[in-house]
Amino acid sequence: MEINRTIPAGVRRYLRQEAAFGCAVCGDPILEYHHIVPWEERKHHEVEHMVALCPSCHQKLGKLPRDRSYNAKANPRNRTHNRIKGELGTTAEILSFRIGSNTYINTKNIVTFFNRPILRAWIENGIAQIDAYIPLPSMWPDVLISRNDLLINTENSWDIEFRTNFLTVKKREKEIFFQVDLRKEPGTIRANFFLGDTKIQFDENSSTAGVLNYSECIFENVVTAIGIGEESKILHWPNFAMRNPKAVVFDGNA
């Protein structure tokens, strides 16, 4: 039977998981899939003879003895780091965002929590910019994006797929935890996470924040689209300087 050159999605995902979602050598999250036993020698997509590498390490390792690739495969760099870093660049001309089932035009704060921005999306000099603070139950960041620079905790992830202009984080097989797609207008964001007790779910058909549902709205020139938590209060994130790190809500006037 003829084997197709296209690497099956399940094989790619297995290799991403094996390498903890970064290049096995350097940790870069933009990945290609290297046939350690070359395709020219034997047509195969066998996970035991393949490894996830970034484009530049792929080029280098492709020319070196195979044991170098098998070593990288056995000891992927991100295994010891538990996080990936990257930059969510975009070249597409984006004017608006489709977040869940709503459209946002010139509305920077998509979600705030006690006046702290959780999700922001805006256009600056023609370039889409994203900020996100998606917390763990402890309120430490699980996904942190600051002006498109991203840091993602890999520990409890089922899959993280990162390409130019595109990011998907899944905690479970069939559920998008967080997704940004800036490949074309409108830029889209999907999410499914908890902010304290409030479940935030932005998918194709609905946009819910706790009991509130905001489907098929257009937010244009709004300061904050969805504000959760009392407006008179302000949240302080936990930080390393605290003896017992925890999130604290302050009276905004104090």
Dist CA 36 CA 58 (whole Å) = 10
Dist CA 117 CA 26 (whole Å) = 32
Counting residues that bind Zn ion (by CB under 5 A) gives 6
Q: Which is nearer to Zn ion, 26 or 249 (CB)?
A: 26
**Single residue of 18, 28, 131, 181 touching Zn ion by CB under 5 A:** 28
Tokens 């350690």 -> residue: 36
CA atoms within 13 A on the CB side of 204: 2
C-beta of 116: minimal distance to Zn ion in Å?
A: 35
Query: Residue 23, interface with Zn ion (CB under 5 A)?
Result: yes
Name residues contacting Zn ion, limited to 42-101 (CB under 5 A).
54, 57
Q: Which is nearer to Zn ion, 57 or 209 (CB)?
A: 57
Q: Which is nearer to Zn ion, 79 or 233 (CB)?
A: 79
In this structure, is the dihedral angle defined by the CA atoms of residues 36, 58, 81 and 235, taken in order, positive or negative? negative
In this structure, is the dihedral angle defined by the CA atoms of residues 79, 83, 85 and 88, taken in order, positive or negative? positive
Name residues contacting Zn ion, limited to 102-121 (CB under 5 A).
none
C-beta of 32: minimal distance to Zn ion in Å?
A: 9
C-beta of 80: minimal distance to Zn ion in Å?
A: 15
Dist CA 162 CA 154 (whole Å) = 13
Question: CA nearest 105: which of 238, 221, 213?
Answer: 221
C-beta of 62: minimal distance to Zn ion in Å?
A: 12
**Single residue of 7, 11, 26, 217 touching Zn ion by CB under 5 A:** 26
Question: CA nearest 181: which of 165, 202, 160?
Answer: 165
**Single residue of 15, 19, 20, 25 touching Zn ion by CB under 5 A:** 25
Q: Which is nearer to Zn ion, 74 or 218 (CB)?
A: 74
How many CB atoms sit inside 10 A of residue 69's CB? 24
C-beta of 73: minimal distance to Zn ion in Å?
A: 13
| Binding interface with Zn ion (CB under 5 A) | 23, 25-26, 28, 54, 57
